[in-house]
Amino acid sequence: MKRWFVHISLLFFTVLTLNLYSQDDCIYPLPPVLTSVSVQPETNITELNWTTSPSSNVIAYLVFEYHNEGGIPRGDIVDTIWNPSATSYSYYSTAPGYFSVSYVVSALGVPDCESQFSNALSTIHTEARIDTCNKMIAASWNSYPSVPRSVQSYSVLISVNGGSLTEAANVTPVTNSFILYDFTLNSDYCFVVRANLEGGKLSTSNKVCLQTKMQRPPQWINADYATIVPEDEILLSFHIDPSSEIRKFILERKEGSDGSFSQIYQFTSILGSVLYADSKADLSKVNYYRLSAINNCNLPITISNLASNIVLSLDRNDDDIALSWNPYKEWKGAVGDYKIHVMTGGIMEERYSAGPVDTVFHISYSSLMYEISLKEACFLIRAVESANPYSINGESRSSVVCTPVSEVITVPNLFTPDNNGINDLFRPVLSFTPLDYQLIITDINRRTIFETRDHSESWDGTLSGDHLPEGVYMWFLRMRTPSGRAIDRAGTVTIKLSR
């Protein structure tokens, strides 16, 4: 009895199964081919295009949003198009503005027989973000499928402040990003990516917009000058674009053209200009300086031109004084000329001028020696800027270099006061201007004939206007040189008259 029940059950299941299959008389249509998916960036309308199914029993097409969840394909129905000749479909959706959406299409045949899904195509989803630290806008997008039409290239379209979209770049089909560096602050920028497909077809992404609101960096920083001041410091001056919203700056220095920059000071909350005295620089070497504006990411965003001190050297060969210096580097304008200043007394005075490309200037010591009243003659170079674009013409002074006074005293031992214009006067010849001076001339009986405290005054061989006879006379010289040395000398001079 038990075995019979098993046989009866198997027979019933077999008959039921045969009946079920005999009722499935569907002729499943072939699926269409989805040829393109595109988004209208201004309206968020998604457009799908496909080729019709080659099957003759098609009565409609079904549009699905397509998902592949864990390897299992799933379609969420969007709409049914009851037209067997339909090849396109458009509908409004906000989803492509947030992510890439995949679509498939199937064909519906009679009686209610649905084809397999078509190939899947995904919308291009574009994203854009502004990087205020590096002053750039980065746009990126997902790749558009290259089947059934291959991607030839991507066009990056940009609009500014509501203007029309224009192509900013055309990139390869394997590129998925674009960086815009040159943009205007406080403006609205919108980005759209378009896939240029085989056969001249297109697929367009969503439109993504952002405002270029960021901390406004200075458009310029002018290094006004690097000049040496009497305190043996290099004084630096900078002017900064007043429209800048950045308040943090770092000052850097390098020694020599081959050195590397290192930070020597950091400024915060400065406006318009800054002064800084560098007391640690080696004044015997050329030091280069620059000021950088630092953004919120602690990165330099704007860097000034360079400023450098002038190192002056002096080389003296007998009467020739050769001054040489490094050219000033590097004003935004140009070096107008170099001014040579000379100090022979208590004041440094501008005396000479050299051209903007000159780095050597020669001065004869003899042209200065009679005005030197100190123990040395000193010089400095002053560079003067011209044509600065911000009307901030700078000046830079070098360090001071000096040469010691040549304290040479030469006293003639003979002169001929006969009024013939040749050797008519007697006085000691000095290579300097003495601080104190006294010259006394006597006859052999020690009677004073001539006396002066003016080193430029000469004796004409007379006494009270009367010419003295030929013979030997004695002189006594007392003075203090510019170096402070006291000198007492005595000797004789002979008057010889022409016959």
**Distance separating alpha carbons of residues 61 and 83, to the nearest angstrom:** 7
Tell me if 7 is assigned to some domain: no
81: in domain: yes
Per-residue pLDDT tens digits for 370-425: 888 778 899 999 999 999 999 999 999 999 999 998 888 889 999 999 888 899 99
Domain final residue pick, 155, 187, 211: 211
Q: Tokens for 13?
A: 């299941």
CATH of the domain at 183: 2.60.40.10
Count structural domains, the chain: 5
pLDDT at 84: 96
167 part of a folded domain: yes
Tell whether 393 and 343 lie within a shared domain.
Answer: yes
Within this chain, do residues 59 and 113 fall inside the same structural domain, yes or no? yes
- Report if residue 439 sits inside a domain: yes
Residue 239 maps to a domain: yes
What CATH number did the domain enclosing 457 receive? Answer: 2.60.40.1220
Residue 367 domain-assigned? yes
Is residue 335 domain-shared with residue 294, that is, in the same domain? no
Evaluate whether residue 142 is within a structural domain: yes
Q: What is the pLDDT along the chain (499 residues), one digit of tens a residue?
A: 333 333 333 333 333 333 333 335 788 999 999 999 999 999 999 999 999 999 999 999 999 999 887 777 788 999 999 999 999 999 999 999 999 999 999 999 988 899 999 999 999 999 999 987 788 999 999 999 999 999 999 999 999 999 999 999 999 999 999 999 999 988 999 999 999 999 999 999 999 999 998 778 899 999 999 999 998 999 999 999 998 988 899 999 999 988 899 999 999 877 789 999 999 999 999 999 999 999 888 889 899 999 999 999 999 998 999 999 999 999 999 999 999 999 998 899 999 999 999 999 999 998 988 888 778 899 999 999 999 999 999 999 999 999 998 888 889 999 999 888 899 999 998 888 888 999 999 999 999 999 999 999 999 999 999 999 999 999 999 999 887 889 999 999 999 987 6
Domain boundary residue, one of 368, 384, 404: 404
Last residue of a domain, one of 122, 157, 191: 122
Domain match, 489 and 416 both: yes
pLDDT at 485: 86
C-beta separation of 254 from 265 below 8 A: no
Predicted pLDDT of residue 411: 94
Q: Which domain range does residue 113 map to?
A: 33-122
Residues 167 and 186 in one domain: yes
Clarify whether residues 299 and 365 are in a common domain: no
User: Under 8 Å CB-to-CB from 385, ≥6 apart: which residues?
Assistant: 225, 331, 333, 334, 335, 336, 393, 394, 395
| pLDDT per position as a tens digit, 251-280 | 999 999 888 999 999 998 777 899 999 999
User: Is the domain of 445 the same as that of 481?
Assistant: yes
Same domain membership, residue 398 and residue 319: yes
Signed CA dihedral, 157, 158, 162, 164: sign only: negative
Q: Does residue 10 sit within a domain?
A: no
Report d(CA 305, CA 388) in Å as an integer. 12
Are 280 and 332 within one domain?
Answer: no
167 phi and psi angles, rounded to 5 deg: -75, 120
pTM of the complete model: 0.59
